[in-house]
Amino acid sequence: MSSFSKTARNRVKRLSKRAAYDRAVIYPIVDEALICHVGFVQDGQPLVIPMIHARDGDTLYLHGAKASRLLKHGQSDQPLCITATLLDGIVFARSIFHHSMNYRSAVLFGCGRLVAAEPEKLRALEVLAEHIARGRWRDVRQPSRKELNATSVVAVSIESASAKVRSGPPLDDEEDYALPIWAGVLPLEQRALKAIDDPRLVEGVAVPEYAIHLFRLS
């Protein structure tokens, strides 16, 4: 199916005309975001943790130290809510009430499992590295046995999801359009700046092309 079913769990209730349930809308948001936020409940306490993530089909991978309480929760088949947001602009309206943001956001729901088999674990770590910079995995030293043993990887099956997107100019009340107040959109974008060499970099090692041209919006 190209779209997620609309249910009580993933239905966008507020400004539902901005909602989308199609994977073709949701997954590019997830893939462009460098950070996601993972929500879960532990001992009755809601928690939200920022994480590096990467998607492979309908699976989202998370990784970290084995002691991570989030990953311990995530591998126990307990529900997770994962969000990603891209900020595209600040919307200045003529009234303070109608100020807003242009954004693309995605909310994913699913349960996690521990990735125990080494081939999938290595594949997940490769997907995570390539999510940050395509081409990096093949350039670097692969994980040692000790590093693999110290790392937990959780695979979250994306069972349900939705996106919400706002774009375009401010939406003022009709009577406010005649007010002599500037209104419009201040576009925002995430971009990479010039790479800074590690002070202990071996002489003669150049910055790789994928780091020079790393723009998340390209």
Whole-angstrom distance, CA of residue 60 vs CA of residue 33: 13
Whole-angstrom distance, CA of residue 3 vs CA of residue 10: 12
Residue 217: predicted pLDDT:
42
At the fourth CATH level, which superfamily is domain 16-171+185-190?
A: Electron Transport, Fmn-binding Protein; Chain A (2.30.110.10)
Q: Which segments of 59-205 are extended strands (E)?
A: 59-65, 76-92, 100-114, 151-166, 184-187
* Other residues' Cβ atoms within 10 Å of the Cβ of residue 131: 20
Provide the mean pLDDT of the chain.
Answer: 94
Whether the Cβ atoms of residue 143 and residue 171 lie closer than 8 Å to each other: no
* Weakest mean pLDDT among 54-63, 73-82, 86-95, 175-184: 73-82
Distance of CA 206 to the CA centre of its chain: 29
Share of the chain above pLDDT 70, in %: 98
Domain ranges of the chain: 16-171+185-190
The residue that leads in pLDDT, 14 or 215, is 14
Share of the chain above pLDDT 90, in %: 86
Which tokens sit at 19? 């909602």
Q: Which secondary-structure segment (H or E) carries 36?
A: strand 36-42
Confidence of residue 218 (pLDDT cuts 50, 70, 90): very low
* Summary count for the chain: helices (H), strands (E): 5, 9
Alpha-carbon distance values, 109 to 64, 106, 183 (Å): 20, 10, 37
Whether the Cβ atoms of residue 10 and residue 107 lie closer than 8 Å to each other: yes
Which tokens sit at 193? 């700046």
Give tens-digit pLDDT for 26-49.
Answer: 999 999 999 999 999 998 999 999
The strand pair at 76-92 and 59-65 is best described as unpaired
pTM: 0.92
Query: Whole-angstrom distance between the N-terminal and C-terminal Cα of the chain?
Result: 27
**Residue 82 predicted with pLDDT over 60:** yes
Q: Give me the long-range contacts of 189-194 (CB less than 8 A, separation at least 24).
A: 189/88, 189/217, 190/34, 190/86, 190/216, 190/217, 191/215, 191/216, 191/217, 192/216
Residues 6+ positions from 174 with CB-CB distance below 8 Å:
none
Give tens-digit pLDDT for 86-119.
Answer: 999 999 999 999 999 999 999 999 999 999 999 9
168 torsion bin: left (phi>0), alpha (psi -120 to 50), beta (else):
left
